[in-house]
Amino acid sequence: MNRRQFIESHGATCTNWQWSWSFINDSKRLVIFGAWDVEREDKRTRIFSEDWRTNRQGHKNRGYDQSREHIRLIEEQGYSLMTFPMKHSPKNGDYQNGVAKIAAITPKLTEKTLVRVGTSWYASDSGGGSLLAEELGTPEKYPEGGRYTVTINAYERNSKARAACIAHHGCTCMVCGFNFNEIYGTIGQSYIHVHHVIPVGQIGERYEIDPVADLIPVCPNCHVMIHQTDPPLTVTQLRDHIREQSDRYPPHRRAKAARAKTNAASYAG
């Protein structure tokens, strides 16, 4: 099966089969990108970059505008992204600017999450928010020692359970309402911790996790605070605590205190 047959078997098309970088199926609201082996990083592949606009001779690359539009549809219109692996052919000149001869493709589509970093866009492996909790590597550091820590965090780090929790509850912190995508844009997309709410004393030997009832999305700050006590605070307890705290010390007073501190520091310097 060649590339065109493969793409068409998924109902997708492009403006030119020779030089297009990406393909679209409008009725399924799906965009397909080829993912170069040479652009592969740890858990993601760069599929598009503003640097790929022109080639080494300064001529505009012909696939650029079409793929830029495909990226826009994913970001702004909620099209989904899938990629298939492409092998770069070293025989036909150097790889450069995202344009090269294809040695081979693997006719298999995989669903990806689009992540923008600076002027490049990446197809990231881990959809549904499973990527960053592991990267941060922090859950086991919250509480100190004991069986409690180990047991609970095994549930919180189970990637299937995480994905099911996030699919149901979304990626907004259930304690404070913080949402990474709103503040950080696409690099924060789908990022959230999950917290396991069942105290370990209530877990029987054959306990099976219910990702919707037993796991909740929380931001890393609230997650750390939840685990300051043993047993951990509930969402309601931490919310009440935050409210009491801001009543006692309202935000405008905090800002004033911060300014006073800054002024003191600049006098001291």
Question: 52 Cβ partners below 8 Å, 6+ apart?
Answer: 61, 64, 97, 98, 99
> Could you tell me the smallest distance in angstroms from the CB atom of residue 14 to Zn ion?
43
Secondary structure class of 36 (helix, strand, coil): strand
CB atoms within 10 A of CB 32: 22
Is the torsion defined by CA of 246, 132, 32, 6 positive or negative?
A: negative
Nearer to Zn ion, 80 or 172 (CB): 172
> Could you tell me the smallest distance in angstroms from the CB atom of residue 224 to Zn ion?
9
> Could you tell me the smallest distance in angstroms from the CB atom of residue 228 to Zn ion?
11
> Could you tell me the smallest distance in angstroms from the CB atom of residue 202 to Zn ion?
15
Secondary structure class of 217 (helix, strand, coil): strand
> Could you tell me the smallest distance in angstroms from the CB atom of residue 232 to Zn ion?
6
Contact (CB, 8 A) for 217 and 169: yes
Question: 44 Cβ partners below 8 Å, 6+ apart?
Answer: 115, 122, 123, 124, 125
Tokens representing 95 are 């790889």
Residues that bind Zn ion (CB under 5 A): 173, 175-176, 178, 195, 219, 222
Nearer to Zn ion, 48 or 191 (CB): 191
Nearer to Zn ion, 79 or 178 (CB): 178
CA distance 68 to 53: 9
> Could you tell me the smallest distance in angstroms from the CB atom of residue 226 to Zn ion?
6
Nearer to Zn ion, 22 or 149 (CB): 149
Nearer to Zn ion, 185 or 199 (CB): 199
Nearer to Zn ion, 209 or 219 (CB): 219
Contact (CB, 8 A) for 201 and 146: no
Nearer to Zn ion, 25 or 153 (CB): 153
CA distance 253 to 125: 44
> Could you tell me the smallest distance in angstroms from the CB atom of residue 184 to Zn ion?
14
CA distance 70 to 18: 17
Q: Which of 47, 52, 45 is nearest to 23 (CA)?
A: 47
